[in-house]
Amino acid sequence: MRQKCGRYVCVQLLQTLNILFENIRNETSLYYLLSNNHVNSIIVHKFDFSDEEVMAYYISFLKTLSLKLNTHTIHFFYNEHTNDFPLYNEAIKFFKHSESMVRIAVRTLTLNVFKVDDKAMLKFIRDKTAAPYFSNLVWFIGEHVMELDKCVKSASEFQIKTKLADLVAEHLDHLHYLNDILCLQIDALNDVLTGHLLNKLLIPLYVYSLVQNEHSSSEEERPQVSCIVALFLLSQVFLIVSHKPLVQQLAKIILNAEMSLFSNGVPNFTVGEHCISESSTTAESSESQQHSESAVQSASSGYASGTSVEEGSNITDEEKAVAAKMSTHFETMQRNFSLSNRPFLEAIFNALDCTESDHAALFALCVLYALGHNPGINQDLLDSVLMPSEKSETKFCYNVNLAERLIQIINLSCQYSSKIRIATLQMTILLLKQLAVKGTESSLLDRHLAAIEQSREESTLMLRNFYKSEEIFLDMFEDEYEEMKKKALNVEYLMMDANLLLPPTGTPMSGIEFHKRLPCGEVERARRAIRVFFLLRDLSLTLQSEEETQLPLTNISSCVKVNDALDLNNSDIINCTVITKDGQKIKGFMVIEALQLILVDPDNKRGGWGIAKFVGFLQDIEVTGDKDDSRCLHITIHRPSSIAGGSIRSPLLAAKFVFDDHIRCMAAKQRLSKGRQKARQRKLHQIARLLELPDHIQPCPSPLRHSLHSVKSADVTRK
């Protein structure tokens, strides 16, 4: 390499060594390779890193070496006498390389180094490289965030989706990397890293950006990102990072700090600091407020237990008046809980206003949700501001101000032209349950319960219109129910979607999932109305500690399944031959039950019994005759989830059925057509009951009293 023979020698050497170290298994051989400091000489060699191939092989070589690090091999790389660590020192020079794969390799290498339990080496990193490396890393993340914000502000529809997605993915990578370091629990490194994160990134950029230039002087403009971007980034921080000294301090500032925090620049927060001077007044007022609340709660225990004043037993009118006054005083305190002295928390609360759009509200909800679920945040801190207290035996143990803002979002979501996306409503309900539901008991005030119940009724009224106007209502209703049960909202996954940073859109052509955008057209408005109905129905049942008894419409456990043995005595059986698309002919018997079409083969062990070989729901069937052969029917059975998702799915069955004669063919067609109609009518009647529609709607026929499944169940009982 020193002879400058060209890039070919360097590339070949790096490639060969990389392969060699990747595949070597014998420790003795590894020690021979690492001895005499030759590897370190290669590491510090002045390669031409402008050559992409050299750069790729070099960084791959360093990463491979880091995978071989342990308490024994570390001494081949770190020289305690000369206080030198070439592998680590050379690698961190590329922490902000333009190529993402190089940056990823550097992060992997540093983690592999930090994992080695060698006190001398870790002390070297702490004393010599930690401060500059973490400082530069935090600065790089800050520059990256400013670029992300610029990208959001200059976005023209979806022209920059790819770039924005890359920037968000990079930020997530950084957070996971930082969290991985903190989770190693190396106190010396964590102290340095936490200090740099708080003082140079999270507080001066993320938190400060929540309050948009309202309190900043014209003489000193601090770097800021939009409030929406700040909320988005903070939600990611609390969803990913769980290091207690960091998230606890950050949560304290967001929940309790005043704007005077930035009056003389950003203060230097140290690890383990239990309070901040700027919020001492707030903390004292919060403590006194808690004492007052305790007094109020003890004085009005009868009211707080969940019964109204009028329902209280053995109390005088004077005591009723005192209790009512106390409860009103408590609600007033909750509604005005020094929010004006908490500008950052106030900004989050104000973002919950969805009058014009739910763009910022979705991120504000995620921040509050993440605060409540972060294991590193002291629950007492949250209890004093947001969350219910586990020790409280009263019903008044949640933030009324926040609850009413959440209920307002729920109310707005029930309007026909609502601008609330399904994801926002889901987050609102999650946060409301987190705020005021403990186990199976609700802590909500009666008037809040009444407001939610009113919203549920409004969602029911809205859905009634689509019940009458949409022909495919039943298919959408069942499909949306299955879709919501199958795909529960994952908040961390939700906050990985860069598309959410752009203004909410209503076009399916954007490629954004339905629950993350506004509806487009009447069909999608119907789908949205169905989901809102399901969400509020579930919330209502949860708050009332009741279980769902009417959904799903089809009880799968009571349906016939493939390979079930069926008693076919006294059943209408039609002999047929099924010809599949590939020309395969299958002889069997068709049985049409109340809800299902069943193809059976005779049971050789028991006469009059059959084994189900195929089952499909009658409501999903399509039947057409064959113009050329009066003995044939073309039958297609769609999959139950063929409507939702906008994707094209193959049918469950599409085949030609040949019967013995045209009479049996006509009988089969008639029974299938009527069976489909009756099956759909039954389910529409079930939906009508759910929607509390008037009784003048014609009732649907009830299923047969002795279905095949009931006979099968009786047989199982006899066995």
Domain residue limits, the chain: 1-117, 558-691
Token duo for residue 506: 């209503």
Contact at 8 Å (CB) between 251 and 381?
Answer: yes
CA distances from 16 to 35, 58, 150, 175, 476 (A): 18, 11, 44, 34, 60
pLDDT at residue 331, as a whole number: 52
Is the pLDDT at 388 greater than 50, yes or no? Answer: no
pLDDT of residue 280: 36
| Distance (Å) of CA 189 to CA 118, 128, 184, 193, 615 | 13, 11, 9, 6, 62
Angle CA 418–421–425, to nearest 5: 100
CB 94 within 8 A of CB 103: yes
pLDDT value at residue 341 = 82
Q: Are 595 and 601 in contact (CB under 8 A)?
A: no
Residue 520 contacts residue 507 (beta carbons within 8 Å): yes
Predicted pLDDT at 274 = 36
CATH 3.40.50.300 fits 558-691, yes or no: no
Between strands 609-617 and 437-438, the pairing is: unpaired
What is the pLDDT at residue 378?
Answer: 85
Measure Cα distances from 448 to 309, 352, 408, 535, 616 in Å. Answer: 17, 17, 10, 17, 45
Question: Which tokens is 466 given?
Answer: 């689509």
Q: Please, are residues 43 and 94 in contact by the beta-carbon 8 Å criterion?
A: no
Cβ-proximal residues to 32 (8 Å cutoff; 6+ apart), any chain: none
pLDDT in tens, 73-83: 999 999 888 88
* Average pLDDT of span 617-642: 88
Distances 579 to 60, 653, 659 between C-alpha atoms, Å = 58, 11, 11
Q: Find out whether 206 and 234 touch, Cβ atoms under 8 Å.
A: yes
State the pLDDT confidence band at 2, using cuts at 50, 70 and 90.
confident
CA dist list (Å): 40 to 34, 61, 88: 8, 12, 11
Q: What is the pLDDT of residues 152-210, one digit of tens each?
A: 988 665 567 888 999 999 999 999 999 999 999 999 999 999 999 999 999 999 999 99
Report the range of poorest mean pLDDT among 81-90, 246-255, 319-328. Answer: 319-328
Q: Compute CA 340 distance to the chain's CA centroid, rounded to the nearest angstrom.
A: 31
Q: Quick check: helix, strand or coil at residue 657? A: strand
CA 426 to centroid of chain Cα atoms: 10
**Is 435 in contact with 386 (CB distance < 8 Å)?**
yes
Task: List pLDDT tens digits, range 272-297.
Answer: 443 333 333 333 334 433 433 333 23
The residue to which tokens 């949306």 are assigned: 480
Contact assessment for residue 668 and residue 574, using Cβ atoms and an 8 Å cutoff: yes
Residue that is written with structure tokens 């993440």 in the block: 370
Are 172 and 493 in contact by the 8 Å Cβ rule? The answer is no
Max CA pair span of the chain: 102
Q: Round to whole Å and give the CA distance between 286 and 349.
A: 18
User: Contact 101/54 with Cβ under 8 angstroms?
Assistant: no
33-43 tens-digit pLDDT: 998 889 999 99
